[in-house]
Structure 1
Amino acid sequence: MTLPHRLSFGRYNLLLEAVALLLTSIILFLAVWFTLTKLNQKYLDLRLAEATRVHLFLKQHLNDSQAALASFIKLPDAERTPKVIALFSTFSEIYRIDQDLRIAQIYKAGSQIRTFVGFSFATSKLSRYLAANGERGNFSEIMRGYEDDLPSIYLNIAAGDHLYLGRLNLDYVQNFLTQFSGYSGTPVLLVAQDGFVMLASDPTLRILALDLKHWTQPPSPYRTLTAGGRHWIPVISAPGALGARIVTLIPTEVLDTQRNALLIFLVTFIGVSLLVRVFKNMHLNRLFTRPIATFAAKMRDLERGNAIGDSVNINYRFKELADIDVHFRAMAAAIAQREQSLRESEQKYRVLTENIKDVVWTLDVATMRFLYVSPAVEALRGFTADDIMAAPVDAALMPEMGEQLKALVRQRAAALLVGKMPAEHFYCDEIEQPRKDGTTVWTEVVTSYWHNVPLDRVELHGVTRDIRERKRAELALIVAKQQAEAANCAKSMFLANMSHEIRTPLNAILGFAQVLARDASFSTAQRKQLRTILRSGEHLLTLIDDILDMAKIEAGRVQLHNAPFDVIGLMTEIESLFQPRAREQRLRLSVETAGLPPQVLGDALRLRQVLINLVNNAVKFTPAGQVMVRVEAVAAGIQFSVHDTGIGIASNELARIFDPFTQTESGRRVQGGTGLGLALSQQLVRLMGGQLRVESVPDVGSCFAFVLPLAAVTAPEVAVMMPIRPVIGLMPGQPKCRVLIVDDLADNREPLRALLESLNPQPPVLEFREASNGQEAIDLWEEWQPQVILMDMRMPVLSGEEATRDIKLRMAARPDTVRSVVVALTASAFEDDRQHMLACGCDEFARKPFRAEELFGILERLAALRFIYAEYAPPVPVLLAADVVQERLHHCAGTWRSALKQAVDLGDFEQINALIKTLADRDAALYATLAHWTDQYDLDALLALWTTENTSQ
């Protein structure tokens, strides 16, 4: 192998110094050149800015002269006296000329003037200027006058039929050019178009003419003009109003001084740098380079095994080398001992790897070749270890995975080299590998990367394990999961179909029951029977909804809809819902709230469902006593608890009380049921972030409680909803509304039509037609144009979904047709179906069995129908028992109770009424009871409160 050519340190250092000096000189030269260019440009810009003032200076003086002549012309002849004319001393001559260009009058004349009245300019050089009427009022070019052959500037101004001519000799211009030059320090020349110098602010320069073509290029410090023993940079302007160019001469002394100073600095810097480097290299060679060369020679002696010698006879400079020799020989002996230990460790490692079932291997990442493979590979893949090491790594991989895995290995190895992956990091991958017999085997490969610094390579160390049995178990688990999902899907489909099949006849039952309930001709017994039908139907519908909710929870299809709501308002609704039933059973139902925020964030509908289940069970299983619902703020959120004094639950039944379709023995004895309420409530509470707990003692009572993390929110105050008033009819006189009822079952169409016809006034507001499938609905829409379509979704021939899409498309294509409102009526109970039907074009969604008030609300909102409502009667307050009144009075303030007792003893009902009004906001039930006794003047009931108290004491 040919060794690369090596330079000595001294030469290499000298080369670096020379390159550094050259680069420094180039950079410094460029910096000086750039600085000179910028300084020159700045200097020229300043001087050019001053030169431009000459134009303004000259133009201002000429404008003043022109204004003076114009003022003179405007004077009447009587006022043009010699004193006045003397004021216009700018002009050397002033004439009035007739139409033939003859002098009609001379107002001012120079001392050497050769003109006279009657003199004609027709043959002079001024003839063209005077004959150019379009240029009147402008100065002429510089020309030599016939009068005295001196360069002059003329100005003609027309006034009526006369033409006035003023002459300015160049002495006037010479004066202010000299003034400007003295002010700016810059000589100024006035040069004619032919290049001859007409005027010069400094006559000593003796410049007679300029080559305008040569000097009209942009000014540069490298193109100069020599005059008066100095160098100048001429700046030539464009021809001005006088037909001449103004040449400004910029001196170059400042630029020359700057250039010379910078060049001297550049030469001095390079010379000093060169001297410093020569001096440094001389000392570097003596103090560093030569000792390094000697040190290298001693290292060659160490390499050949030659002893350096005793430290006594060795130059003191190389005592460190003698120490290096001693330590080097000790290191060689230590290396030999470690090699022996490594051979022994390798033998133990080989015995271990060759006797385990897992395959141990090492791979060179750069060549993608195996460096070592344990013999266990033959049992795993059928290839011997030598076969694997002789073949490329692709043979150990599936064809479609080879390049991908190799790229991943190289990527991880690169991460190790740049320090983005610790050396002790392990990877675990599952890889399918081919076997010798053509089959494949799934393996788990655990790998780690190691940078072998001595060999300068990255090695991949790994252990391959057979995981065929685990893969079979995983496959069986996947199949079982798919079967479970299929069964769950089939269950959901069955429940959906069951819901539809049960809701369809219930729609007719509850629909006709709602129609009959509005018939005033029924007797009290018949009305009671109708209420039983409605209540039983509603119970069956609730049962179906509970079953579906359980199925949706198990399938993970239940989603919470969190929104701000009023907890106190919800509890008031729960109380009003169960108070009549509690009153029938002679139970005392109370709702207590404490420390609740105005509004919280949560799913009010699901919370209401849970509370209804719990309170319903409490009322149902409490033969006597009370049911108390308490809601209070706690650290974890809001706690809800339902206490009752009912039959209780045995301890051996508490463990399975929340199982679906499970009832306790006492529950089956009191009243049947499905056993779904508590199971569903527990699942819903868990979804909302809580846990439903129960405590119960047989024949004493039960307590169900849970805490929900309902956060307080700031939201607009929710309006208090008024109680729903029953609809008793349609307002007469409204525009007629055509209603199309579409359903494949007549039993579903008839109750809808009967319900709406029962409200129809005379003359009728509603007109009805019916269709038994979607195609009939489309045909009737084309023929009859209904304003409202009550559309069933599941029908033969053409479904309600397809019919709705078709009708909406026809409405969109024909803007002149009626805008029909389509209300979807379906027995489906899934929220997904609602969204799907609204997306199909339906304007609203109502479930079967339909509820009359819900249907009326839809027609009022979408079809603009106006209904007649029954008058609202406020609920009769629930009166408390005397012992409850006495117990609640005991918690009132002592001074207030003393005042109330004194008023009762005196029989002062006015004072009694004033005192009990303070209870209206704090305890509505207590206030209602005391107010009722006060209104009835029932003094005995009031006196009994204290009589009973004294007796008990």
Structure 2
Amino acid sequence: MVKGFYQESIFCREWNKEFMAQIEHKIQLLLAQNNGVGVVGGSYAPGLPITLVSELALNALGYANVEQFQRRTAMLFTNCLSAKDRALQDVETFRRFTGEKILALPTQRGEERWFRLCKGDQTLPDGEKIWLLTISDCDARQNRELDLIEERDTAEAASRAKSNFLSGVSHDIRTPLNGILGMAHIASEHADDPEIVRESLEKLIDAGEQLESLINDILDMSRLESGKVELLHQPFDLYSLLSSIGDSLHAQSEKMQLKIGLHFNMTHRHVIGNPLHVQRIIANISSNAVKYNHVGGLLDYTLEEFPIDATHATYRFTIRDTGIGMSEKFLTHLYEPYSRANTADPEHYEGTGLGMSITLALVKKMNGTIQVQSHLGKGTTFTVDLPLELDTEACATKDNTVSNSTELPELPNLQGMHILLAEDNDLNREIAEYILTGAGAAVTSARNGRQAVALFEASGQGSVPVFDAILMDIVMPEMDGLQAARAIRASAHPGAATVPIVAQSANAFADDVRKSSEAGMNGYVTKPLDETRLLRELAQYKNSLQHLWLASRRGRLFYFLICAASKKSEKLPLYSRPLVYSAQL
């Protein structure tokens, strides 16, 4: 049971019992108002001297006795006030404070706790006015309220940021969309003028690539914020990955007349990790290095390998440009979502302001680091360190040499290949057929997964050709691409385990790639289809029906054993010999 005012010890100086009787009524009122526990009182003089303090007030502040309190505070209330409330240390300011107030007061251990103070004045018979305070501990409640306020402010800030982002991104999406529709209209109106049609189509492609970049950023940021980003752990070739990034930026680099330098200092180009994330990180930085460069500027890549142990190494990507650079002020906000540098140059397309935020999140996800140096007008240098596992099995069987040449390889051709294309969207199917036939392939199309499975099972019989590869859309009616891939792998057809299946999808997240791999697919390309990437993915299967779907490293060993065995039976191609498909290879 809490002690009443006269049930606790009162430590006072100069005030006798008669005086205490005079102020009793005021103290009782304050205690009732504050559900009070402790009392502090004093006079209006410099330092606000304390001449009265109760036992419960001392206990609330963490003091064992009045002597300990006196040593620490010198019996001055100004020494009891938190640094947050310096204004109250002024005598006149304190005199004007009436009623109640929530204040942070330091305890005996130097920690701050929140107290509710009720203050009143009492005039003595000699005319002097003194101050009286009752205090009660409200630390838990106040901290809860502060937490709620902080959560509210954070939510409001996030809401404002997203509102500003949606306002900006609405403009940014409509800008390239207007260009796409406008240029398409101009081209159709001048179909008999090849030059206008060509220029319109070039601008339409540029606008489409801008729109694709915007959509990718928005989707990636959404996935990162939801915590649904998964790390892949699969083999890939760093050199090929960088080449694919160069391919995607080739047209823009040529337009800017950039000089590109490549410098490699690594022993192992074949690694195991998350190729999608590595590609996204380097592509984001590279895209900015091209976008914000000067015509005729420099874009320089350096890739170095630093061994960690026998099976791991840190790969350092250094990307330097001679573009417009960034100010010191903007560098402090570079990785904040939705932040964009204010550039007066209308030629530089700004984007969503999400690219570098996504880059930093992915680098951290891979336990890497990123550093940047930049000066206005002098360019920018990014250094990214990523730890990766060495693909020692691939290193023993594949060429690890790299070239510093900036020459881009010729576009792959698919001459002699017959490809089964599963795509439900008429326009997308027409685009894919155009790319594939343009590269020399013959194409048989299916409008859904069920038709694709039926065509595959009938392949090699009657008029249905043998397929060298399958390009499988993921989202289709009746049977989706994942179900179709599983059905093909489980089929009794002699090529069920060997036919390469490449997924094509508008979904480009790691878990989508993982799901396609688990369904039995060999590769994955994203929409909008990049011609070079698509042809490179399919060209690796050209004239090679001996490719198995490899579910694990043991699967690769099984593949090599079968290849070796096939040399002893040249009369029967591997495709015609039955193989048992198993996800446990």
TM-score (norm 2): 0.45
Q: Name which one, 1 or 2, has greater alpha-carbon Rg.
A: 1
Write 1 or 2 for the structure with the bigger share of helix: 1
TM-score (norm 1): 0.30
Q: Which structure is higher in RCO with an 8 Å CA cutoff and minimum separation 6?
A: 2
